[in-house]
Amino acid sequence: MQDKRRYVIYLLLFLFLSIYSLDRAMMGVVGSTIAKEMQLDPVQLGYLFSSYLWLYALTLLPAGAITDRIGAQRMCSIAAGGWSIFQALGGFATGMAFLLVTRLGLGVFESAANPCAHTAIREWTPRTERGFVTSIWYAGTNAGPAMGTPLVAWLTTVYGWRSAFFVTGTLGVIWVLVWMSLYRSPDRATWLSPRERAKILAERDKDPVVAVGDPVGYRGLLTETPTLWGLAVAQGCINYTSYFFLAWLPGFLQSSYHLSVMQAGEYTAIPFALSVFLSIALSFICDRVLSPAALHAGMRRYAVALGALLSASIVLTPYVGSVEIATVVLTVALTFNTFAQSMNFALANDRLRSPADVGRTYAFFTLGGITFGIAGPIVTGYLVKMTGDFKVALVLCGALSILATILVVTLTHRPMGERKSVLQPA
């Protein structure tokens, strides 16, 4: 274990995204309770579900540039600390307007999460571990709801929905204190062994062709190749389904199978929990199958495509009859959706030749993803209101997953930031 101490950072990044995702997903659990108290219809609830993404979208590109300037340690601390404060403030809401403001504040600080997390991953991860580590980090997307939704459901049932906001907000503050005390760049982390430090520094940007270069900026990333566009739009298509899981899965289970809030929380936790382990296992296999040369050539795109294609199985959910079988289908769909997203995040790092552009790359990448995320909960709310069930909404999830498969296979063949990097001395 002496040469595996870097896994402490991987664990902290996993918890970082777990808390981030729980703070988003808990609205799906408490939403029906809040809707009754505040007399909200499905469309209003859909707007409330997506509201944290509105300012998130506007602040993403600045957050990426700031991350490249100040680094992962400070930006992760600012992000988690800020969103946790707004999360806790949600517990004081007496109407939709106040709650909406707290969700907007949550989104402002969450906008820095992906750029700063992937800056840390790039800084700490040997290239051949990148897919596996990215899957550990991204598994937090499902682990947070898996571990947290039963807790939120219990708090809501026993102490009221406000207590859920206070407790989840406190978790983020605790994480910040631990992160600030432990995180340093590998060359400054005194708790690493010399051998492990040398391994990380030698292999994190190891590239058989291109040396580390200067940043190319947003203009270079977006105009020299279609790759970042393909990655970002494909992420949006895949993300649409993940936002259905985060925002509407408890409500879908309650309305389709007549479950209580507590029962819906328990059934929601099952696919989220299982997908954590299954998606990590798939990512581990992917890293073992793909050679460094294949990663350099962007062959991870086919793992993304496979995951996106199989996540389209969500369209079968309304037709399987029982909640138990539906849970199996949802687990398969969510596992491959999670696998596709984590591999797409890793593919972006594989395709990037200029490490100084990591924050900008993931800011734009995330912007593509959340553009669909903003629309998803709202569109689902309208479709449910118009049709009276979730069938059409799930067909749209499946169609976008298939579109993501096409985009990632066709538009990600050229690397990003290579032009200026090749001019730099090795």
pLDDT at 419 over 60: no
Report yes or no: 344 and 96 within 8 Å, Cβ to Cβ: no
Candidates 120, 132, 151; CA nearest to 29 is 151
pLDDT tens digit string along 44-59? 877 887 787 788 888 9
Considering the chain, what is the average pLDDT of its residues?
A: 87
Q: Supply the angle between the helices 323-351 and 261-289 in degrees, to the nearest 10.
A: 40
pLDDT tens digit string along 45-103? 778 877 877 888 889 889 988 998 898 899 999 999 999 999 999 999 888 889 999 99
**Domain around 173:** 2-421
Per-residue pLDDT, 421: 41
**Does residue 81 sit within a domain?**
yes
Alpha carbons 197 and 119: distance in angstroms, whole number: 17
pLDDT tens digit string along 226-236? 999 999 999 99
What is the CATH number for 329?
1.20.1250.20
> Across residues 312-328, what is the average pLDDT?
92
- Which token pair is 115? 């750029």
pLDDT at 420 over 50: no
**Does residue 238 sit within a domain?**
yes
Alpha carbons 45 and 255: distance in angstroms, whole number: 15
Q: Residue 252, exposed/middle/buried by CB under 10 A (0-12, 13-18, 19+)?
A: buried
Report yes or no: 359 and 227 within 8 Å, Cβ to Cβ: no
Per-residue pLDDT, 398: 95
Report the domain count for the chain.
Answer: 1
List 352's β-bridge partners, or say none: 416
**Does residue 426 sit within a domain?**
no
Per-residue pLDDT, 211: 43
Instruction: Give all strands (DSSP E) within 274-423, no chain letters.
Output: none
Number of residues that make up the chain: 426
Report yes or no: 286 and 303 within 8 Å, Cβ to Cβ: yes
**Does residue 390 sit within a domain?**
yes
Per-residue pLDDT, 318: 87
Alpha carbons 415 and 400: distance in angstroms, whole number: 25
> Across residues 390-409, what is the average pLDDT?
95
Per-residue pLDDT, 208: 43
What DSSP letter does each residue of 107-165 carry, written as one string? HHHHTTHHHHHHHHHHHH--GGGHHHHHHHHHHHHHHHHHHHHHHHHHHHHHH-HHHHH
Amino acid identity of residue 1, one-letter, is M
**Cα separation values, 341 from 32, 279, 308, 398, Å:** 28, 10, 8, 15
**Does residue 222 sit within a domain?**
yes
Alpha carbons 269 and 265: distance in angstroms, whole number: 6
Per-residue pLDDT, 425: 38
Per-residue pLDDT, 213: 54
pLDDT at 338 over 80: yes
Amino acid identity of residue 145, one-letter, is P
**Does residue 194 sit within a domain?**
yes
Report yes or no: 283 and 132 within 8 Å, Cβ to Cβ: yes
**Does residue 362 sit within a domain?**
yes
**Which segment, 43-52, 79-88, 247-256, 385-394, is predicted with the most confidence on average?**
79-88
**Does residue 371 sit within a domain?**
yes
Q: Residue 352 in 3-state DSSP?
A: strand
Q: What is the largest CA-CA distance in the chain?
A: 64
CA atoms within 13 A on the CB side of 1: 3
Alpha carbons 189 and 124: distance in angstroms, whole number: 11
**Among 34-48, 176-190, 301-315, which is the least confidently predicted range?**
34-48
Per-residue pLDDT, 1: 52
| Spatial CB neighbours of 117, under 8 Å, sequence gap ≥ 6 | 13, 16, 17, 72, 76, 137, 362
List 355's β-bridge partners, or say none: none
Distance, first Cα to last Cα, the chain: 32
User: 18 falls in which pLDDT band (50, 70, 90)?
Assistant: very high
Amino acid identity of residue 15, one-letter, is L
Candidates 193, 127, 167, 120; CA nearest to 23 is 167
